[in-house]
A = this chain, B = another copy of it.
Amino acid sequence: MHDIPANHPRKVSLETRGQLVKGFEQGIVCIPGLIAHGRGEAFDYIFGEKTNHFAQKAIEASASLLLLAKKPVISVNGNVAALCPGEVVQLASLCGAEIEVNLFYRTPERMEAIKKALFAAGARRVLGGEEDEAIIPELFSERRRVSREGIYSADVVLVPLEDGDRTTALKKIGKKVIAIDLNPLSVTAKAADITIVDNVIRALPALCTAVNQLKPKEKHTLEQILAGYNNNMVLGEALEAISLRMKELARR
């Protein structure tokens, strides 16, 4: 990667891409992960590369749900491990969540490379790939294989950068699902209980901040935040935001 000038208008986006390419070279990121990142880049660009109001609402609701959870689990894939391993570890520690590696394109080598990145970022325990894995019914990809001490027995699962089938399957076995997905039209975005339509590199730090802020609150307050949250409405607001931005740009 060439050095990116400090005043480049899309510096963060280009540096993030550089991190992902490094992750690819380390065996953490897979080829479909690179393409998926490009899709995310396009949506992020359309949203103005910032955390919008609809994302902030979902972040607060997610923090409440994570704090109310009996057993929250953060599911990690290659792109998440390449882009924000430190934030995953911090969030897990803040809300007492397990970290589990769960991959669509699963190989023992990728599982290990991702675990290594998480341990290097400070994780004490990373689940995934045990001999006695459980199976999520009605899910036919490698993602069906989950840890008994992790996703299988979780009540709330945070799935950043997700494929649609798994969110639907997790919902069917009674899990509450929080997704981070820049595409408000995706199957994941629609199936999740809470969808944070934001770039994972901004959403995870913002989620840590929200958990810190809400941690001292009473259970009742957190339940009220959750009761007042409507995911369909939030997704509608994200679509409206694209609509308004494009209309404004067309006028110029």
Contact = CB atoms under 8 A, between A and B. Distances in A.
Interface residues of A, number: 32
Nearest to A242: B246
A243 interface: yes
Interface in A38-97: 38-43, 45-46
B236 A240 contact: no
- Secondary structure at the A interface, as helix, strand, loop or mixed, is helix
Interface of A: 17, 20-21, 24, 31-32, 34-43, 45-46, 183, 185, 236-237, 239-240, 242-244, 246-247, 249-251
- Report how many copies the assembly holds: 2
Contact of A38 (B35, B242, B243): B35
A31 B21 contact: yes
B31 A24 contact: yes
Interface centre among A36, A43, A249 (most CB of B within 10 A): A249
Contacts of A39: 38-39, 41-42, 45
Interface centre among A21, A32, A246 (most CB of B within 10 A): A246
A58 to B, nearest CB: 16
A36 B244 CA distance: 25
25 contacts: A20-B35, A24-B31, A34-B34, A35-B37, A35-B38, A37-B38, A38-B38, A38-B41, A38-B42, A39-B39, A39-B41, A39-B45, A41-B42, A45-B183, A46-B46, A46-B242, A185-B249, A239-B246, A239-B249, A239-B250, A240-B246, A242-B246, A243-B243, A243-B246, A243-B250
